[in-house]
Amino acid sequence: MINHYLIQKALRAKLLTLEVCTTGSVTISGTSTGYARTTGSFLTDGFAPGMEVTGTSFGESANNTAKSITSVTALTMTCPGCTTETAGTRTLAVGLPADRAWENIKLDPTTGSPWVEEQYVPGPMEKVTLGPLGQLEVLPIYAPRIYVPAGSGVGAARSYADAIITLFAPSTSFTVSGHTVVVRSVPAPYSGQLLQAGPGFAVVPVTIPLRVRTANSV
Amino acid sequence: MSKWFTQEEAFNLKLKERLNDIHANVAFRLRDSVVFGTEPLTAAPGQPVDTGNLKSSWILSHPEKLLSTLLATGKTPDGEEVGYARYIEEGVGMTFGAHGGGPHSIALTVSAFKKLVKAAVSEEVS
């Protein structure tokens, strides 16, 4: 039979691999207000206020921890919590926010930091092939919601949503405990309107329609 | 020759009637799914009821031509705004359960739309 629990866990595991943007391995320094570079562009790389950025390969641990971006220019990124450090080869990247409200798990969001919430809707089930062991088809919906700080504009919200849609591109498939889970093409994954989700956050909903088929082994 | 045209005309009329019946069947299934949550093919929960405003704001109409249907929300017949409809659909900032209904009714209906059409065709043709 269909195992929605395992399907949801697999979807969650895939969501955790989200990559929104990265500098790649470049020369970056730490400053008292954030990060700086002398070549390239944080803007071109896709960074935006409201995202949560994480550094790697910095000598100062404070510069490696996840923190929220409050402003970005081509050569500077402002994020409270950084410390001064000379330039070196490092990476800054944005993935899934560290604050995650998995279904039925309480989360107290941190003001000023983005967070993600998931909803899983099992959807209708139908027997689609003949015989007592005919295949069952289910149409679940996986619905991550990305919350960004209110007032941070649309850049972070839209970039997170676009990255999720790219991660769950139409026809993406994986197998979970004998079930074939496919991201549908009609309707394909889509993001909704940015909504104010007070207090202190705006939210962009993403909807991922799925098709699951499995043998009816009951 | 004239008999042929008469038969063709009768066939076209019948075809049109069937199309209208199928279209109406799909439209009512759409409404039942999104608004009332009584369409098992989509498993949509329907609109939650507290004041009843949201449910009564959903209007099924045929705005342009015969084979076109609009299912829309915005205001109740009494003019009450239901701007929270989108939050209900997205399941954002809402707690459900006390009065039935829930989020994602539109998403689930769109997701299973082909099933609705298939069922309507099957029902009208049989």
Tell me how far the alpha carbon of residue A182 is from its chain's centroid: 19
pLDDT at A218: 53
Residue type, A21: C
The pTM score is 0.90
Instruction: Indicate if the pLDDT at residue B49 is higher than 90.
Output: no
Mutant choice from A141, A194, A212 vs B, greatest count of B C-beta within 10 A: A141
A35: CB partners within 8 A, 6+ apart: A28, A29, A42, A53, A55, A63, A76, A77, A79, A82, A92
Alpha-carbon separation of residue A76 from A23, A39, A195, B59, B65 (angstroms): 12, 11, 29, 52, 57
B62 touches chain A (CB under 8 A): no
pLDDT at B63: 62
CA atoms within 13 A of residue A11's CA, in its CB half-sphere = 34
Parts of chain A with a pLDDT under 50: none
Nearest CB neighbour to B92, from listed A139, A184, A197: A197
CA A204 to CA A116: how far, in whole Å?
A: 10
Interface of A with B in 67-126 (CB under 8 A): 119, 121-124, 126
**Short-list A117, A3, A199, A140, CA closest to B104:** A140
The full set of domain ranges for chain A reads 4-18+97-215, 19-95
B94 touches chain A (CB under 8 A): no
Q: How many residues does chain A have?
A: 218
pLDDT at B98: 60
Task: Give the ipTM.
Answer: 0.82
The answer to whether A77 and A94 are in contact (CB under 8 A) is: no
Mutant choice from A121, A148, A201, A204 vs B, greatest count of B C-beta within 10 A: A121
Nearest CB neighbour to B92, from listed A122, A124, A195: A195
A143 touches chain B (CB under 8 A): yes
Peptide bond connecting B77 to the previous residue in cis, omega within 30 degrees of 0: no
Question: Which range of residues forms the domain containing residue B50?
Answer: 2-125
CA A80 to CA A75: how far, in whole Å?
A: 16
B46 touches chain A (CB under 8 A): no
Interface of B with A in 96-125 (CB under 8 A): 103-104, 107-108, 110-112, 115
Label residue B65 by pLDDT band (50, 70, 90).
Answer: low
pLDDT at A87: 97
CA A120 to CA A97: how far, in whole Å?
A: 19
Greater confidence (A30 vs B80) lies with A30
Residues of A in contact with B40 (CB under 8 A): 124
Q: Which helix (H) or strand (E) holds B70?
A: strand B70-72
- pLDDT tens per residue across span B18-41: 998 999 999 999 999 999 999 999
Structurally, chain B folds into a number of domains equal to: 1
Nearest CB neighbour to A141, from listed B86, B104, B115: B104
The answer to whether A69 and A78 are in contact (CB under 8 A) is: yes
Residues of B in contact with A200 (CB under 8 A): none
Q: Cβ contact (<8 Å) for A143 and B104?
A: yes
Each as own residue / partner, the long-range contacts of residues B88-91 (CB below 8 Å, 24 or more positions apart, any chain) are B88/B47, B88/B48, B88/B54, B90/A143, B90/A145, B90/A192, B90/A195, B90/A203, B90/A205, B91/A119, B91/A143, B91/A145, B91/A205
Count of CB atoms within 10 A of residue A213's CB? 15
Greater confidence (A148 vs B126) lies with A148
Q: Where are the beta strands (DSSP E) in chain A?
A: 19-22, 26-30, 34-36, 52-56, 67-68, 71-72, 76-78, 85-95, 99-101, 115-121, 125-127, 135-138, 141-149, 173-176, 179-183, 190-191, 195-196, 201-215
**Three-state helix/strand/coil letters over B8-29:** HHHHHHHHHHHHHHHHHHHHHH
Residue of A nearest to B41 (CA): A124
B90 touches chain A (CB under 8 A): yes
pLDDT at A217: 67
Residue of A nearest to B33 (CA): A124
CA A62 to CA B104: how far, in whole Å?
A: 41
**A4-18+97-215: what CATH class?**
alpha beta
Output the six-digit token pair for A195: 């909504």
Q: How many residues does chain B have?
A: 126
Instruction: Indicate if the pLDDT at residue B103 is higher than 70.
Output: yes
**Short-list A52, A18, A32, CA closest to A149:** A52
pLDDT at B83: 85
CA A150 to CA A145: how far, in whole Å?
A: 15
